[in-house]
Structure 1
Amino acid sequence: MRTTVHTPLEPNCPDAAEPGGKLTERVVRRRQLFEAHPDQAARMTYPVMAALVPVATSRGGEVAYPGDPMCLYSALALTIQRSVTRLHRGLPEEPSLDDVCPDWGDYPDDDYRRSANGPRSQLIADSRTTDGHVFDPRIWDEVARERFIAELRSLQPRVLLLSAVSAAHRYALEMAELAKVHAPRCVVVLGGRHADETIRYRDADGTAEFSWSSTVEVVRDGRAGQVVDFVVAGDGAPLLDLLLRALSLTITPGFGPTDNAEVLDALPLVAGADEPLRGAGTIVGFCPGEAVVVPVRGERLNSAELPSPYEAFSIRARFGIFTEAGTHPQGSRTAHMMTLDSCPFKCTFCSESIQVSNRPTRFAVRETEHVAQRVRRLMDWGAEAVFFDDPVFWGGNWKAITEFCQDLLRQDTDLPGGAPFEWGAQLTVDVVLNRAKADEVRSGLELMRRSGCTYIYIGIESMAQRVMAHVGKNLLRRNPEAWVSKVREALTTIRGHGIRVGSSVLFGLDGECRETIEETIEEIGRLIDDDLLVMASPNILTYHPGTAITAAHARDRLDYHSRKDNRPPYTYFEEAYPEVVSRLLTEDDIWYIHKSAAARWGTVRNNAAEADTEAAA
């Protein structure tokens, strides 16, 4: 299969919407075709479903992704907004580009939002809300597979949108294959962090590069069948909206098979339509014998320009770390938010680093009031708590953190019945120990607590100095103390402001050996003994395409496509599979980490029961 790279789509594309232009001709012809079929002309929408692809096949103790699938929700925001607008306005008198659109249903009303939480139970085909169009099983097992097949058979989606991280890619391929069997006319679109990590377009020379584990390469060299039609990498919301508008332009009455080449030909027409081209990234379409790469170089959107990810969805997650609302034994109903999509720092192992994800979508520092207002809106929709999933809250900018807390304090954050609203966020050790801004840090932490922050999550990674020396974490040179001392001081500082602290610990980094494993487990245990940690989550390093440690360890061929059964002890850790875990860890080491952390950390360890609660959220 050859690869063809198209000329990038840019904001100043010729306006194909001019009278007599190709787009106008296509739109008029499409309207005429539908009007010739009165049974279909009234609606002119087609069934669609989205799915969060799970990362695990069992509840063997691994920490499944907690919370709502915000990457997927965010990616769907613009296409759903366009569909709902078309639903309410009806078919315009004159032919329009959006005459035909995916049928996402209508936004849920407030009663639905406040009552619908936990796993979805209704078939997508029977739902008339945007919230009901997502399949979100969290675990990929035989039960989930049969549910997915039932959804496909019932709905017969014209388009299936899959969101997958790298660890989920193998199951995404299986879900795509099932879609082709049980809904043969379905167009499968794959996006998410795996696509972002494995596709690179170089503006300098106009070439595209794909990691060995990318969907494109897996299909090109025959490791998987051609069951995916399009891959979207980059700014998900605007690129997905662009792709679906192009696909809608090619659809004819009866919704017969889609010609992917025709969809790709329609992309420039839609890009040059009635509004500036938005979003940057890459769309890859599969045609017979060819993978066609379409770079998109539109205007980047900041987060305030996009709808809230929860505009179309109910808040379904419960996070056991938040309990002050007192409404459920599994914790408060928790919305998830982000103030930026990627981390500004350069940790060698992190796939969320700006160097890997290349997705700088964020709220500007001046938009703190807008974020506070969104939090207030989430409370109206039933949120009892909010957790900010940013790798580093507001990028570690204490000015922005302070202003956000002040803006939040101006909002009415009283919950029904008088229970306090609470929230949490992620920071780093060195952001907390910024000596040059000690006063700003102190007042920022105080404001965080006053505005309802009860929990901060920090990536400790390791407590062995010889390991941390290689990590490249946000280590301030003006704060050169030993890492163990810095961790203890940062945690003591946060706890001194009345805020609880949880941590992630990562085994398998450069310099790791049994001695450093033992050192980290014991030192974390001492932090727990001193009441500095309320939760500690042990993790095993898994290689992600594009990270520095993956390159340093020469792991350029990561098997994220084979459907191999996983097994303990790997199933006790998030994303861990034998083929992709750190080369510095033996299976015996992983067993040791699992058993020793459980014994030393006790109930503070993020254990299997908590993982099941989060997976069901």
Structure 2
Amino acid sequence: MRTTIRTPLKPRRPDAAASGGKVTELVVRRRRLFTAHPGEARFTYPVMAALVPVATSRGGEVAYPGDPMCLYSALTLTIQRSVARLGAGLPEEPSLDDVCPDWGHCPDDDYRRTANGPRTTLIADSRTTDGHVFDPRIWDEVAQERFIAELRALQPKVLLLSAVSAAHRYALEMAELAKVHAPHCVVVLGGRHADETMKYRDADGTADFSWSSTVEVVRDGRAAQVVDFVVAGDGAPLLDLLLRALSLTVTPGFGPTDNAAVLDALALVADAEETLRGSGTIVGLCPGEAVVVPVRGERLGSAELPSPYEAFSIRARFGVFTEAGSHPLGSRTAHMMTLDSCPFKCTFCSESIQVSQRPTRFAVSETEHVAQRVRRLMDWGAEAVFFDDPVFWGGNWKAITEFCQDLLRQGTALPGGSRLEWGGQLTVDVVLNRAKADEVHAALELMRRSGCTYIYIGIESMAESVMAHVGKNLLRRNPEAWVGKVREALAIIRGHGIRVGSSVLFGLDGESRETIEETIEQIGRLIDDELLVMASPNILTYHPGTAITAAHGQDRLDYHSRKDNRPPYTYFEEAYPEVVSQLLTEDDIWYIHKSAAERWGTVRNSAAEPLTEAAR
């Protein structure tokens, strides 16, 4: 399979006038075809989206408390366009958006307040945007049967899959099932795995696909060509662009799709817009050819995008929030992000700015806008909110302070007398910003007053010899020993009445059985001293693009083979024998599993709290 790279799509292309004539010709011809075709008067085609799971077994311990925010966010603009088009009806004159994906209508407030937990209605029977997502969380026989039933009932023209790297193998299986049970279905794959494994370099106009990428897996025959398009970068605008191009080329009856024609239509749609939005890469997989279409439109800030929950109900419950008392599994919890990339440069993290290189964020001046969104989530039934930012507001204490003040002005009272709870993620060195110690203490107190009851911190290891290699303290502002800093930061947060949970990561550089034992014991002491209310043990898995992956020479990560996983790997999220740290033996992993359970007791949480990447 050869690779073809097309001219990047940019705003105000020189040949836009000629493209406009082609678009007019296409939309006029398409209007005639659909008008004449019986049963297609609504000019829509069926579509479904799916969050691809990362596990085939719960192993008795794996859980996913979060809504799939990465998927929700990517769908915002295409759903917004579809809902507006269906609400307004077919325009009098032929238009670019005559034909559109049928997402249904947005939920009303009554639906939003009552619909939570797993979806139970077939997508084919749902008329709401919320009902068009398949979200199984575990890929077992039951989930497979449900997925097949959805495909057969709906016969989607388009299936949109969101996958992290650990889910890629199951994404390929879901795509294969789609091709069998809905033969004319167009499969689009996006999510963090696509972001991590394919890059376009503007400097020399070349594309780079890692060995783990969907393109390379298909190219060398490790997987069948069951994926039609891969999208990396700014998900929402690029997915909207791709579906508009597909809608421009689709024919009545929704037979086979010519992927090459869709790729040609991308430029036509881009030129038809006054402003091209979004930056990233779309790859079309055609017979014998992978066609790369770089998109270099205007970047959108988070405030310019609709709230991910505009189209979806808040379905998650997070056991760390309980004040509402509404359910044994915890309060109904919405998830938000003010920043989707981490400003720090930890060697193992796929959320680092070094890997993503494309942060989408709310500006620090937009705290009132975020507070208003939180208030709206409360109106829709949220009893708690967790901010999934790698670092809350990027660790900017001024922004954190202003957000808390804005939230208090919006009001945090809930029906029944309780108040909104919320939490977020910070780092040890952000809390120990000694140059701003007074500001930090004042902000933490304001956080507590505005409803913050929980902070999540990545401790990673309590062995100094391990933490020396991690690169976690980007600014090097606190040179003290790591163990002392961890204890001090936790004590500061707890001193303001806020509970703390943590993640612990085994398998980093310098790890040995001795450092494993040291970390398990030191975390146990923090638990004994009531500085931690939850500790989650995790095993390092290699992500494409991270520094530790390169340093360990792991350039061929098997994220495509469909192999049954087994204990002890199933006790840890995203852990498969082929991709876990080469510094850990299987005996080490058994030891971590058993020793953490024994030493940490009920405070140990085996899932990677508070939210897995798969749910983002």
Do these two structures clear the TM 0.5 threshold for a shared fold by scoring above it?
A: yes
- SS of the equivalent of 2:272 reads coil
Mark the runs of 5 or more structure 2 residues left unpaired by the alignment: none
Alignment check: 8 A CA contact 1:491 1:532 kept: yes
1:563 counterpart = 2:562: yes
Flag the 1:609–1:495 CA change in 2: closer, same or farther, 3 A. Answer: closer
The residue that corresponds to 1:24 in the other structure is: 24
Alignment check: 8 A CA contact 2:339 2:360 kept: yes
1:484 counterpart = 2:483: yes
Following superposition of structure 1 onto structure 2, how do residues 340-489 of structure 1 map, counting pairs within 5 Å? 340-489=339-488
Alignment check: 8 A CA contact 2:44 2:100 kept: yes
Taking the aligned partners of 1:279 and 1:613, their CA distance within structure 2 comes to 25
1:531 counterpart = 2:530: yes
Taking the aligned partners of 1:553 and 1:398, their CA distance within structure 2 comes to 36
Taking the aligned partners of 2:608 and 2:559, their CA distance within structure 1 comes to 27
The CA deviation at 1:256 is 1.3
Flag the 1:354–1:22 CA change in 2: closer, same or farther, 3 A. Answer: same
The residue that corresponds to 1:39 in the other structure is: 39
Taking the aligned partners of 2:358 and 2:449, their CA distance within structure 1 comes to 32
The residue that corresponds to 2:326 in the other structure is: 327
Taking the aligned partners of 1:571 and 1:381, their CA distance within structure 2 comes to 35
The residue that corresponds to 2:95 in the other structure is: 96
Flag the 1:210–1:542 CA change in 2: closer, same or farther, 3 A. Answer: same
Structure 1 counterpart of 2:331, which letter? Answer: S
Alignment check: 8 A CA contact 1:59 1:612 kept: no
The residue that corresponds to 1:7 in the other structure is: 7
Flag the 1:2–1:574 CA change in 2: closer, same or farther, 3 A. Answer: same
Alignment check: 8 A CA contact 2:63 2:607 kept: no
The residue that corresponds to 2:215 in the other structure is: 216
Alignment check: 8 A CA contact 2:422 2:454 kept: yes
Taking the aligned partners of 1:152 and 1:503, their CA distance within structure 2 comes to 40
Deviations 1:221-276 (A, max 9, x none): 00000000000000000000000000000011111110000000000000111330
Deviations 1:318-341 (A, max 9, x none): 000000000100000000000011
Flag the 1:311–1:17 CA change in 2: closer, same or farther, 3 A. Answer: farther
Structure 2 counterpart of 1:36, which letter? Answer: A
- SS of the equivalent of 1:39 reads coil
Alignment check: 8 A CA contact 1:234 1:358 kept: no
Taking the aligned partners of 1:364 and 1:421, their CA distance within structure 2 comes to 24
Flag the 1:201–1:20 CA change in 2: closer, same or farther, 3 A. Answer: closer
Taking the aligned partners of 1:283 and 1:584, their CA distance within structure 2 comes to 36
The residue that corresponds to 2:302 in the other structure is: 303
Taking the aligned partners of 1:544 and 1:612, their CA distance within structure 2 comes to 17
Alignment check: 8 A CA contact 1:6 1:294 kept: yes
The CA deviation at 1:61 is 3.8
The CA deviation at 1:14 is 4.3
Flag the 1:414–1:241 CA change in 2: closer, same or farther, 3 A. Answer: same
Higher mean C-alpha deviation, range 473-482 or range 71-80: 473-482
The CA deviation at 1:65 is 3.5
The residue that corresponds to 2:228 in the other structure is: 229
Alignment check: 8 A CA contact 2:19 2:268 kept: no
The residue that corresponds to 1:522 in the other structure is: 521
- SS of the equivalent of 2:327 reads coil
Taking the aligned partners of 2:475 and 2:43, their CA distance within structure 1 comes to 58
The CA deviation at 1:358 is 2.0
Taking the aligned partners of 1:614 and 1:270, their CA distance within structure 2 comes to 32
Flag the 1:608–1:375 CA change in 2: closer, same or farther, 3 A. Answer: closer
- SS of the equivalent of 1:418 reads coil
- SS of the equivalent of 1:97 reads coil
The residue that corresponds to 2:252 in the other structure is: 253
Structure 2 counterpart of 1:366, which letter? Answer: S
The residue that corresponds to 2:493 in the other structure is: 494
Deviations 1:53-102 (A, max 9, x none): 00000010453442100000000000000000001100000000000000
The residue that corresponds to 1:606 in the other structure is: 605
Deviations 1:523-552 (A, max 9, x none): 000000000000000000000000000000
Alignment check: 8 A CA contact 1:61 1:573 kept: no
Flag the 1:615–1:86 CA change in 2: closer, same or farther, 3 A. Answer: closer
The residue that corresponds to 1:239 in the other structure is: 238
The CA deviation at 1:473 is 0.5
Flag the 1:248–1:614 CA change in 2: closer, same or farther, 3 A. Answer: closer
Alignment check: 8 A CA contact 1:213 1:561 kept: yes
Q: Given the two structures, how large is their TM-score scaled by the length of structure 1?
A: 0.98
Taking the aligned partners of 2:313 and 2:587, their CA distance within structure 1 comes to 43
Taking the aligned partners of 1:137 and 1:428, their CA distance within structure 2 comes to 32
Taking the aligned partners of 1:428 and 1:59, their CA distance within structure 2 comes to 29
Alignment check: 8 A CA contact 1:55 1:138 kept: yes
User: Deviation above 3 Å: which 4+ runs of structure 1?
Assistant: 14-20, 61-65, 607-617
Mark the runs of 5 or more structure 1 residues left unpaired by the alignment: none
Alignment check: 8 A CA contact 1:398 1:441 kept: yes
The CA deviation at 1:615 is 11
Taking the aligned partners of 2:565 and 2:606, their CA distance within structure 1 comes to 19
The CA deviation at 1:38 is 4.6
- SS of the equivalent of 2:50 reads strand
- SS of the equivalent of 2:386 reads strand
Following superposition of structure 1 onto structure 2, how do residues 86-125 of structure 1 map, counting pairs within 5 Å? 86-125=85-124
The CA deviation at 1:477 is 2.5
Flag the 1:420–1:78 CA change in 2: closer, same or farther, 3 A. Answer: same
Structure 1 counterpart of 2:29, which letter? Answer: R
- SS of the equivalent of 2:295 reads strand
Alignment check: 8 A CA contact 2:319 2:329 kept: yes
Deviations 1:473-503 (A, max 9, x none): 1254331110000000000000000000000
The CA deviation at 1:190 is 0.2
* RMSD value, Cα: 1.8
The residue that corresponds to 2:596 in the other structure is: 597
Alignment check: 8 A CA contact 2:68 2:614 kept: no
Deviations 1:323-374 (A, max 9, x none): 0000100000000000011111100000001111122100000000000000
Taking the aligned partners of 2:609 and 2:505, their CA distance within structure 1 comes to 19
- SS of the equivalent of 2:366 reads helix
Alignment check: 8 A CA contact 2:64 2:612 kept: no
The CA deviation at 1:573 is 0.2
Flag the 1:311–1:565 CA change in 2: closer, same or farther, 3 A. Answer: same
Taking the aligned partners of 2:548 and 2:575, their CA distance within structure 1 comes to 16
Taking the aligned partners of 2:609 and 2:485, their CA distance within structure 1 comes to 29
Structure 2 counterpart of 1:228, which letter? Answer: V
Taking the aligned partners of 1:484 and 1:452, their CA distance within structure 2 comes to 29
Structure 2 counterpart of 1:411, which letter? Answer: Q
Flag the 1:125–1:177 CA change in 2: closer, same or farther, 3 A. Answer: same
Taking the aligned partners of 1:545 and 1:613, their CA distance within structure 2 comes to 17
Following superposition of structure 1 onto structure 2, how do residues 151-190 of structure 1 map, counting pairs within 5 Å? 151-190=150-189
Taking the aligned partners of 2:562 and 2:452, their CA distance within structure 1 comes to 42
The CA deviation at 1:611 is 10
Higher mean C-alpha deviation, range 433-442 or range 46-55: 433-442
Structure 1 counterpart of 2:49, which letter? Answer: A
Higher mean C-alpha deviation, range 171-180 or range 607-616: 607-616
